[in-house]
Amino acid sequence: MANKRNLFPISNFSNDLGKQLEKTYDQMDVMILSIYEEAKKVQEEYWSKVKGITKEIYDQNKSSIVKRSGDDLSAMTFVVYAPIIKLDSNGNSHSLGMYWGKAKYGHKTKSGNGDKKVQRKSDHVSMRKAPSPYMPGRYEASQFKFNDHNIWQREIVLSIETKLAELRTIIFKLNLSYSDLKTVLEDIDIAFKKNDPVEHSTLTTEAELLGELRKALHKFDMDPNRLTREQGQLLMNTPDSVLRNFDINPEIRDTYFG
C-alpha cells in the first residue's frame, strides 16, 4: 500500500506555497506572451484583408470607364475600425489588452498599394458589460456602425473580433484561475495550520485585488463612487489594458469623484 504522505507532502506545504505560486505566475506570464503573439497575427490578418480589398477598389476604379469621384473613392477606402493590441509591462509580469478603436475623421487610410503609412486618430470602442463578473466583457455586432460606402468592412471586423474574443476569454480565465488557485492553496494551508509567512505573496496581490474590484463594481451597478477608498485608488492607478483584462471599463474613472 502506498504511503499517503509521499502522495501529498502537506507538512512542507506552507514553505512551498510561495514557490508554487511563483512558478504558476511565471507560467501564466509565458502564456500571456504567447497569446500576445497570436493577437498580433490576428491584427496583421485584419490589415492584410482590408488592404487587399482597398487595392481592389483602386484597381477597379482605374480600369473602369466611369470613374468614381475623389470623395466617393475616399469614402469607400477609409477604414473605420482598427484592432488595437497593447502589451503592458509591470515589473516581471505582463498584461494584454485587445480592443477596438474607431477613427475620428475621414482621411485616406491607405494609398491603394498598402505601403503608405497614415497616422490614425481614434476613439476607444467600449466593451459591453458581461452579465456576470465571472465572464469577460464583449463587443456586440451592433456596436460597429457602417454606411453604404464602407459596409464591405463589416464582415471582416466581425470575423476578426470573433478571434480576438476567444483570446480575450483565455486571458480572463487565466486571471480567474490564478486567483482561484491562490485561494485554494491558502485554504489548504490554513486547514493544516501551517501559517508561516508565505514568500512572494505580493505576486498575487494585484490579481486578487482587481478581482475584488470587478465584483464590487458589478455589485454597485458600475458606480465607482460606492467603492472603498482603496478600491478607488486601485481603479485610478491601474493601466487601462490591465483593467480591461479584468472586464473593467477604464472610462468609468470619468464618473469617480473620490
Query: Over 70: is that where the pLDDT of 193 sits?
Result: no
Query: Over 50: is that where the pLDDT of 218 sits?
Result: yes
87, exposed or middle or buried, with CB in 10 Å at 0-12, 13-18, 19+?
middle
Stronger pLDDT, 129 or 19, i.e. the higher one: 129
The pLDDT, as a whole number, for residue 85 is 92
Q: How many CA atoms lie within 13 A of 49 on its CB side?
A: 16
Tell me, yes or no, whether 104 lies in a domain.
yes
Tell me, yes or no, whether 6 lies in a domain.
no
Tell me, yes or no, whether 148 lies in a domain.
yes
The mean pLDDT of 180-189, rounded to a whole number, is 67
Query: Over 50: is that where the pLDDT of 177 sits?
Result: yes
pLDDT band at 203 (very low <50, low <70, confident <90, very high): very low
**Average per-residue pLDDT in the chain?**
77
Check: pTM over 0.85? Answer yes or no: no
Count of beta carbons in the 10 Å neighbourhood of residue 162? 11
Which cell numbers in the block locate residue 84? 488595437
Tell me, yes or no, whether 246 lies in a domain.
yes
Tally of domains within the chain: 1
The mean pLDDT of 194-208, rounded to a whole number, is 52
Which cell numbers in the block locate residue 43? 491584427
Cβ atoms of 82 and 104 within 8 Å: the answer is no
Tell me, yes or no, whether 9 lies in a domain.
no
Tell me, yes or no, whether 128 lies in a domain.
yes
The pLDDT, as a whole number, for residue 95 is 80
Tell me, yes or no, whether 11 lies in a domain.
no
The pLDDT, as a whole number, for residue 47 is 94
Tell me, yes or no, whether 13 lies in a domain.
no
| Spatial CA neighbour of 147 closest among 81, 99, 82, 84 | 81
Query: Over 60: is that where the pLDDT of 119 sits?
Result: no
For a pLDDT cut of 90, what percent of the chain falls above it?
Answer: 25
Q: Exposure pattern of 214-243 as b/e (b: 16+ CB <10 Å)?
A: bebbbeeeeebeebeeebbebbeebebbbb
Spacing of C-alpha 51 from chain mean position? 25
The mean pLDDT of 176-199, rounded to a whole number, is 62
pLDDT band at 147 (very low <50, low <70, confident <90, very high): very high
Parent domain of 228: 18-188+195-252
149, exposed or middle or buried, with CB in 10 Å at 0-12, 13-18, 19+?
middle
- Single-letter code of the amino acid located at 133: P
